[in-house]
Structure 1
Amino acid sequence: MWAGRRQLTSRRVQIHLVIWGTAAAILAALPGMLVQDPDLAELIGTNAIPPGSFYLTTVSGSALAATGVVLAISPALEKTGLAEWLAAPGRHSLSLYALHILLGMGTLEAIGRLDGSLSPTQIFGYSLGFCALSMVMGWVWNIFAKRGPLEALMRWSTD
């Protein structure tokens, strides 16, 4: 909410998001990397399961930095036509969140890969694949409907 209340079109705010988001992500990740005791490393580490305060700070900082970068390059994205492709999944965020849990995590669970055996590179690859698929499917869905299916259901149920 704090970031959303900033003047996000301001170049200064965009730069601050990148700088402070990156700093928060790095500083929150450092303690877990420097500690040798496995029990303490688990407590102050950045593992997603269970999500501790260092994990939350790392991913929040990363998200703020990524948001700052995307906002900074958005004029160039609009010129190339990529802005619409990137905006399409944002109109379906609830549906995509549910789909990533059901389809993404469900598939990994079904093939026995949700046990922590995936490397960071593999996780990144799966994530990029899901993001690419989300962009394409979001763009296609926008041809037929203004909102995603769960977004439309939420709108219908609250009207």
Structure 2
Amino acid sequence: MTTRLEGLDLARALALCAMVLVNVHLAMGAPQGQPGWLAALFSALEGRSAATFVMLAGIGLGLGTRRMIWGEAAAHTARRGLFLLGLGLLNVLLFPADILHYYGVYFLLAALCLRLPSSLLVMLAMGLADLFVTLIFLFDYQAGWRWADLSYPEFWQPVGFARNLLFNGWYPVVPWFAFLLAGLWLSRQPLGERRTQWRMVLGGSLAALLAKGSSQTLSALFPAWASLFALAPLPPLPLYLLFAGGAACALIGLCLLLMGSAWRPPALALLLPMGRQSLTLYMAHILLGMGALEALGGLQGKAPWQGLLAALLYLLAAALFARQWERRFGRGPLEWLMRRLCDRRTASPLPHRRED
């Protein structure tokens, strides 16, 4: 019997909170003249929270399938990938910056990578970063985008869909799949050991600092090429991958340390159910949170602090809901549905009711 690594639940909850903040800010627009601290906050979160989510997905896949034979593990992962792909494509109709349909394709590709040697996982991740740079020079990264409103009119056309999915969408397979490969690699490490957790914190922090310093130095030395050394998530260039990946690794390691220590901040207990129901709460913040804002006319022309307040209120409600739902039923609604449809051998017919 294995012990659940609650630090992963905490990291997933924190990444969810950050994604909600970024998505609400994005949906409400980013008006000029917003307070400097608020602009800095959203800039720090943008792209980093999603990278953490994808890395955690890789860790979860590695841990969840390690006792399965390859064929069973690949089928299990592919079924979940198809579920997330379908759910994400439906979500795109409401929220164009959806990440779930990209997730679905990551999972389908991951089904082929579950048993690859660790060294090959690292080589593939680095190869994706290099491939993206090559594609930047071969193709027009701006193609398909309407930057004025961050829309992608060609998304539902075959060529536009493929281009968005693989190259220039919000979270394109090349190179974002590298984060999931990194998570698979991490899943093979002894994550329950404090030595490994400290290595993640220190190694991830050093990687992020190296990326930051390299970006500043190279941009100063080669100003004509400064755009290639940027840390922004669009486009996701190699230094961004190193920065976001390092920050994600450090955050996950820190969460593992916190939840494995004798002293745990009591407030963190409220976040753990959110991490275990992140799929449900991600969809809910779009369907319910943004849906309510749109119905109230709150998605345009509002001050940035109003968007921040709306996101924080949603997160508070989500934390309370997740805690009560977990006490009564266990798994979140969408988490249960995914297991019901994709893990047919082990899924139960109804959500479990917890006994106090």
Q: Same fold (TM over 0.5)?
A: yes
CA RMSD of aligned residues (A): 3.4
Instruction: Quote the residue 2:188 is aligned against.
Output: 5
Whether the 8 Å CA contact 1:92–1:138 is kept in 2: the answer is yes
Whether the 8 Å CA contact 1:29–1:46 is kept in 2: the answer is yes
Instruction: Quote the residue 2:258 is aligned against.
Output: 73
Post-superposition Cα deviations, 1:11-41, rounded to whole Å, max 9, x if no partner, equal 2111101110001111122233331467633
Distance 1:62 1:86, change over 3 A: same
Post-superposition Cα deviations, 1:65-118, rounded to whole Å, max 9, x if no partner, equal 1121122222222xx5445423212211222333456667886993368xxxx7
Distance 1:140 1:56, change over 3 A: farther
Instruction: Quote the residue 2:50 is aligned against.
Output: none
1:53 pairs with 2:238: yes
Distance 1:87 1:29, change over 3 A: same
What residue ranges of structure 1 are gaps of 5+ in the alignment? none
Rounded to whole Å, the distance in 1 between the matches of 2:269 and 2:318 is 13
Greater alpha carbon shift after TM alignment, 58-67 vs 37-46: 37-46
Task: Specify the SS of the correspondent of 1:2.
Answer: helix
In the TM superposition, residue 143 of structure 1 has moved relative to its aligned partner by: 2.7
Distance 1:100 1:63, change over 3 A: farther
Identity %: 33
Task: Specify the SS of the correspondent of 1:22.
Answer: helix
Post-superposition Cα deviations, 1:112-155, rounded to whole Å, max 9, x if no partner, equal 68xxxx7xxx8xx67x8366554333213213321122212211
Rounded to whole Å, the distance in 2 between the matches of 1:41 and 1:100 is 36
Distance 1:31 1:16, change over 3 A: same
1:43 pairs with 2:228: yes
Rounded to whole Å, the distance in 2 between the matches of 1:138 and 1:102 is 16
Whether the 8 Å CA contact 1:9–1:71 is kept in 2: the answer is yes
CA radius of gyration, larger in: 2
| Higher relative contact order (Cα pairs below 8 Å, separated by 6+ residues) | 2
**Higher helix proportion:** 1
In the TM superposition, residue 4 of structure 1 has moved relative to its aligned partner by: 1.9
Rounded to whole Å, the distance in 2 between the matches of 1:88 and 1:70 is 15
Task: Specify the SS of the correspondent of 1:110.
Answer: coil
Instruction: Quote the residue 1:17 is aligned against.
Output: 200
Aligned residue pair count: 147
TM-score if structure 1 supplies the norm length? Answer: 0.71
Alignment of 1:81-100 (within 5 A): 81-82=266-267, 84-100=269-285
Rounded to whole Å, the distance in 2 between the matches of 1:105 and 1:71 is 32
| Candidates 140, 146, 153, aligned match of 2:330 | 146
Q: Aligned partner of 2:202: which letter?
A: I
Rounded to whole Å, the distance in 2 between the matches of 1:55 and 1:104 is 30
Instruction: Quote the residue 1:135 is aligned against.
Output: 319
Instruction: Quote the residue 2:214 is aligned against.
Output: 31
Rounded to whole Å, the distance in 2 between the matches of 1:138 and 1:42 is 42
Rounded to whole Å, the distance in 1 between the matches of 2:279 and 2:339 is 12
What residue ranges of structure 2 are gaps of 5+ in the alignment? 1-183, 345-356
Task: Specify the SS of the correspondent of 1:12.
Answer: helix
Rounded to whole Å, the distance in 2 between the matches of 1:48 and 1:54 is 10
Q: Aligned partner of 2:227: which letter?
A: E
Rounded to whole Å, the distance in 1 between the matches of 2:301 and 2:338 is 33
